[in-house]
Amino acid sequence: MAESWVNSAERIGVDLHLELPGPGGRRAALIRALREAVRGGRLAPGTRLPPYRSLAADLGVARNTVADAYAELIAEGWLTARQGSGTRVADRAVPLRPAERVPVKAPARARGTRHDLRQGTPDASAFPRAAWSAAYRRALQAAPNEAFGPGDPAGRRELREALTEYLARARGVRTDPDRIVICSGFAHALRLLFGQGAGQTAGQGSGGVLRGPLAVEAYGLDFHRGLLAAAGVRTVPLSLDEHGARVDGLGRERAVLLTPAHQFPTGGPLHPERRAAVIDWARARGTVVLEDDYDGEFRYDRRPVGALQGLDPERVMHIGSVSKSLSPALRLGWMVLPERYVGPVLAAKGEREGWASVPDQLALADFVASGSYDRHVRRMRQHYRRRRDRLVAMLAARAPHIEVTGIAAGLHAVLRLPSGTERSAVKAAAWQGVALDGLAAFRHPDTDMPAPDGLVVGYATPPEHAYGAALEALCGVLPPG
């Protein structure tokens, strides 16, 4: 049996955990354990080791055993001993070889990217650092001690109350705090709703609230389709036209996933008649509509489209996150659920909060309740509107043959291209270091609707100083008129 100990932090200023095998060979075992700790980087160069006596007492070995082990490691060059400063890890102790580290996949920015015009992220340089820090500080100071224990899987009540008020006011969502479950974003919501296969970590609840087949829009985020496929959920594409998803194509699917406020990625709102029709379908089928409200806050020159959920809170799951409004790095989102789904979603989440940091939830609650969220969203709306206007003006001047669509809302635009030119434009962009996607990247593989040529241009992503150059570069890769 392995025996382990943790030495007291007061004596040497660091906690050190070692494991020694059972009786016999203690000196050799201690040497091996210390050598491993140094080699693996757990004991950094310069770290002071415990005095013989305290280490011997902690380990239940003779003082001489420790003294001998230290002497051996000093002789080998792993440790050094100097009068008055005790025994320390030697400076030249070999660090972990790079090859032994767990390889981490580089984040999504493509190699060679000079101008990042991919959709999907807000302007990271505009994150409201000061206001968020102030909210965080206030939230931590006000938090009761129990907030630092295991979290409630429903999420902090403070946040659910703040969201209830905000979503009602800003998005027309009808709910109360007991029907909101906090999650880490839309992707997490999909995992909770469709189960383990969608990438859940073992031990984090059972998942599987809904089952496929699930109707989805013929153009959408490939990543989400991938999550669903991994969960074994078959998705059935609904064609799109200028009024959004053709919900008259709904049949015997078990649920439908839509982006009603701003079809992703093509850009229009779902027509009012279709909003009503999809609710009728859900009522008749006894099922639900999943509403992905991914950029509901960013409306420029058309009336804001309220949440579909407002039409029937018992037939729509409204799902949102701060990924577009604040940052996708926060991993905070919410599910506003019909009453009958609250229990199953909580059961899927598990007994404790295992996903969304409780202090971050409290900070967001303060951020929303104090009005900082509204202020930030208003400021960003202006910021993105100006960017959109620059994009539109630039294209009107330099590429008037290119139609720009989907621009009344959101953080991206779709540039319609002459038929047959999308692939070469995407290639030219990659060649010039301009990161963007063609419409084909979002197309459901099973749809038979016509495939328009287009580029999806995220105008939020570049930092302010780089935006002009990014637009210039974009103009350089468009097909000639």
Ligand X SMILES: Cc1ncc(COP(=O)(O)O)c(C=O)c1O
Closer to ligand X by Cβ: residue 6 or 124 = 124
Across 228-263, b (16+ Cβ under 10 Å) vs e yields bebbebebbbbbbeeebbbbeebeebbbbbbbbbbb
Nearest approach in angstroms of CB 26 to ligand X is: 52
Using CB under 6 A as the binding criterion, the count of chain residues that bind ligand X stands at: 13
Nearest approach in angstroms of CB 236 to ligand X is: 18
Closer to ligand X by Cβ: residue 292 or 422 = 292
Among 328, 344, 354, 479, interactor with ligand X by CB under 6 A:
328
Closer to ligand X by Cβ: residue 239 or 432 = 239
Nearest approach in angstroms of CB 312 to ligand X is: 21
Q: 390-395 long-range CB contacts below 8 Å, 24 or more apart?
A: 390/459, 390/467, 390/468, 390/471, 391/457, 391/459, 391/471, 394/471, 394/474, 394/475, 395/475
Q: Which two tokens stand for residue 326?
A: 């604040």
Cβ–Cβ under 8 Å, residues 288 and 338: yes
Residues of this chain, 123-152, that bind ligand X according to CB under 6 A = none
Using rule CB under 6 A, residue 187 touches ligand X: yes
Closer to ligand X by Cβ: residue 118 or 387 = 118
Length of the chain: 481
- Helical packing angle, 372-398 and 157-171, nearest 10°: 50
Among 196, 204, 323, 325, interactor with ligand X by CB under 6 A:
323
Cβ-proximal residues to 35 (8 Å cutoff; 6+ apart), any chain:
73, 76, 78
Q: Look at the block and give the residue holding tokens 């009728």.
A: 280
Using rule CB under 6 A, residue 198 touches ligand X: no
Stretch near ligand X under the rule CB under 6 A, chosen from 103-111, 181-189, 209-217, 457-465:
181-189
Using rule CB under 6 A, residue 437 touches ligand X: no
Using rule CB under 6 A, residue 221 touches ligand X: yes
Look at the alpha carbons of 96, 101, 107, 108 in this order and tell me if their dihedral is positive or negative: positive
Cβ–Cβ under 8 Å, residues 362 and 159: yes
Nearest approach in angstroms of CB 28 to ligand X is: 51
Nearest Cα to 330, choosing from 222, 203, 185? 185
SS3 of 413, please?
Answer: strand
Using rule CB under 6 A, residue 321 touches ligand X: yes
Nearest approach in angstroms of CB 320 to ligand X is: 8
Using rule CB under 6 A, residue 194 touches ligand X: no
Using rule CB under 6 A, residue 289 touches ligand X: no
Using rule CB under 6 A, residue 384 touches ligand X: no
Using rule CB under 6 A, residue 333 touches ligand X: yes
Q: Which two tokens stand for residue 125?
A: 């340089």
Starting at the edge strand found earlier in the chain, the sheet holding 454-458 runs 403-405, 412-416, 454-458, 437-438
Using rule CB under 6 A, residue 267 touches ligand X: no
Closer to ligand X by Cβ: residue 259 or 372 = 259
How many angstroms separate the CA atoms of 151 and 356, rounded? 9
Closer to ligand X by Cβ: residue 160 or 262 = 262
Nearest approach in angstroms of CB 64 to ligand X is: 59
Using rule CB under 6 A, residue 410 touches ligand X: no
Among 152, 217, 292, 453, interactor with ligand X by CB under 6 A:
292
SS3 of 470, please?
Answer: helix
Among 120, 269, 350, 462, interactor with ligand X by CB under 6 A:
120
Using rule CB under 6 A, residue 193 touches ligand X: no
Q: Identity (one letter) of the amino acid at 11? A: R
Among 128, 185, 406, 458, interactor with ligand X by CB under 6 A:
185
Stretch near ligand X under the rule CB under 6 A, chosen from 90-98, 185-193, 276-284, 469-477:
185-193
**C-alpha 325, offset from chain centre:** 13
Using rule CB under 6 A, residue 294 touches ligand X: yes
Using rule CB under 6 A, residue 260 touches ligand X: no
How many angstroms separate the CA atoms of 432 and 477, rounded? 8
Nearest Cα to 26, choosing from 78, 68, 54? 68
Nearest approach in angstroms of CB 474 to ligand X is: 20
Q: Which two tokens stand for residue 291?
A: 């509403």
Closer to ligand X by Cβ: residue 93 or 460 = 460
Name the residues that contact ligand X, by CB under 6 A: 120, 185-187, 221, 259, 264, 292, 294, 321, 323, 328, 333
